[in-house]
Structure 1
Amino acid sequence: TYHLNCQTFTQIRHQLYQKLGNLIRKLRSKVEDFQQRLQRSENADQFRQRADLLMAYLHEWKPGLTIITLADFETGQPVTISLDPTKNAVQNAQSLYKRHQKLKRSRQAIEPLLAKSRDELNYLEHVEAAIAQQETYHSANDLALLNEIKMELIEQGYLDGDPARQPKRESRPSFHCYESPNGFEILIGRNNHQNDHLTFRVATDYDLWFHTQEIPGSHVLLRLPPGAVPDEADLQVTANLCAYYSRARQSEQVPVIYTNPKRVFKPKGARPGMVVYTHETVIWGKPQAVDPLQGQMSPDAE
């Protein structure tokens, strides 16, 4: 069974990595394209301003002009405007107004598309980071985690398959579990399903919730009994683990935030593992300081 599971684990991991790699490449290209188009549309107001100037200084225009230099309304600085010599001043101004409207419409259309693509990219990068952490097969738990990720991608429409026919999710999540210097439990989600479970079902108002800042990674919980106050060493070790279980594992220093779990919210319609947070404090995590086997405990969290 071990060898069969090991083989299945390797196959699924490769399949998921390949699929995600293709999706992420396409999305990055799409985001870049939208950003370039948005940048081009940033000049929209410039065209309106030039059209306004031309209309205000109609008396300065002469037939056959290809450029005209006029004083800016606010600064008085000279503004040079290119003209179509076959059109009069009003027609040139109308052309500029039309370009302004076209670019403005373009910007209004692109902004929501860019936001949607960025959200999707962020989500898929989180999934990729979770797979990257499942490097080798050790136990049936590892295969179950990969199957959960596969099921999530089927449910989200990225992979073909029937969610009902996939292996059942673990009823008791196998979080990574560590002990802080003062004996507090540190729990780490290993995929998006576990991240949601940890943040919205396990966490209490006494705990502290950690995540890498603007970097895909695991949800991390420093569990605290009522009235307990963690010291700097507890916070640092948790931040180091948070940085280690993220896409920035190879970095020297990684910005990590922590906040109270009640300050972590799931936006309506958000994908698994995606959250927003407020009232955060930033701390620098050092992933290179982590020995993944040191301080590891058997999880007993529900």
Structure 2
Amino acid sequence: MASIASTTTIMIQVVLFILDSLMDSIIILQIIIINLIVKDKVKKYMDYIILFDWTKEFSVEKKIVECVFYNEKALRIHFKDNTDLYLVISNYDAYPFFASKPFSIGDETPIWDQLIHSVLTKVSLDEYDRIMRFIFTQIDIFQQKKTYVLIAEFIPPKPNIILAEQNQELIIVDALKKYSYADNPQRQILPKIPYQPPKTAFKPYHRDISFPLILQTLQTGETIQCDTINEYLKNHFIYVLSVKEELEHRKAIVDYWEREVKKAQQKLHKQRKELEQAEKSDYWRICAEIIKVNLSNIQRGQNVLKAINYFDPELSTIEIELLPDKTPQENMQYYLKKYKKAKRGKEVIEYNIAETEKKIKQLENIVQKAKRGELDELPQKEKLPQLSRKLEMVEKLLCLRIDDRFEIVIGRKAIENDFITTQLARPHDWWFHSRLYHGSHILLRCLQKTNPQEELIQICCSLAAWYSKARFSQNVPVDYTQVRYVRKPHKSKPGFVTYTNHKTAFVQPMDLRTAKKELNL
């Protein structure tokens, strides 16, 4: 017995040793996986050393703020020397860069007038994390000096920019993303309270950067050599980050409409099954009539009625399922009710099937448009019938697709002019119309929100002159501006609009065929 007990003890110890080894292996494997995940997440955001070297590279000399703008991509500080500082705060990445020539990043909103006329005096990066501080000084009307600190938290996954005033301590004035302890138990970002930096486990990694820095564009795969950190960050925003956001946005639109197609197809499948049941209306009528004839032969509790089918020329035998808990009369009424419902429902179901098939075709057309990048708005903003009518109208318009970035749309009558200006156009598109002469609205669609070259602007002006009453004149004045500055007065007639912030070009009229040759199309 002692030997058996000792053997059992040894076996238990061996099992425990194996379990301990397995647990250690599992823990090690978990640590490896977590490290890989963390490393993968860190790769998606700009390195600390890149931000650190950028602060050394950036010069704050004579940087006086003229205005500050904000959109969902970045905060833009425009200086009086016509240069710009961009603070990118995308969920995909976050970093600053400087541009000697302003360029469009989409629709912007003015923000933080407190910084207007202030002077940028210093830029620094915190030692413990990717938090950059921009120091602005300002002399108010009472000749009192104020110091504002723009705190850019380039920290994943939700970067933030906070405006604070430096007194005895940093007091928050405003922030792009505000939250309280209910949202974040560690700290709160709200106006009129002291700024608290976040507590993170991030550890900066310092190393030497070798130039040139190589950047691979996301759309074409082309490599770009950058001789400075700022050039690298600027190109990363233009050729990587913006493209990635655009592709993700387009994918979201396509996925939404593909889900709608799938829902409609499932609905159609269900309706066709209902139609199969409705097409049995004649069979339900025959069942009711045969039960009626055989009422005296049916007993309560009977499951099946076998009788002669008087509606069959060959007088074959028919088997009719009965409800055993119902009387013969109730069974007859049951089949009669099914017959009447099927007869009424067949017409309705056939109509619904036709409508669903029509809807599927519309949705498939929308999916194709979305895949080609012709839909840039969020799907939830428009209902299907409105969007379908809009796409049908677009197909009737005179369009010239230049490439993936630009498309020229020409309105040939008042209704088309009204449609392309008030419904098809987006704020970043360009609008053209002959001055003093009646004519078509010409729309230059910027499908990727990129600014057109001056040559393309001139061609659009020439087209606007051709599609006007001044077609056979020379030096025709044509006004052009972005759609954001075009307004349609309430209850005005189709095609009538007002506009501001426009420029005027004097051009020679050009027909569409000549324009195609000029564009090598």
More strand by share: 2
* TM-score normalised by L of structure 1: 0.42
Query: Which of the two has greater helix per residue?
Result: 1
Q: TM-score, normalised by structure 2?
A: 0.26
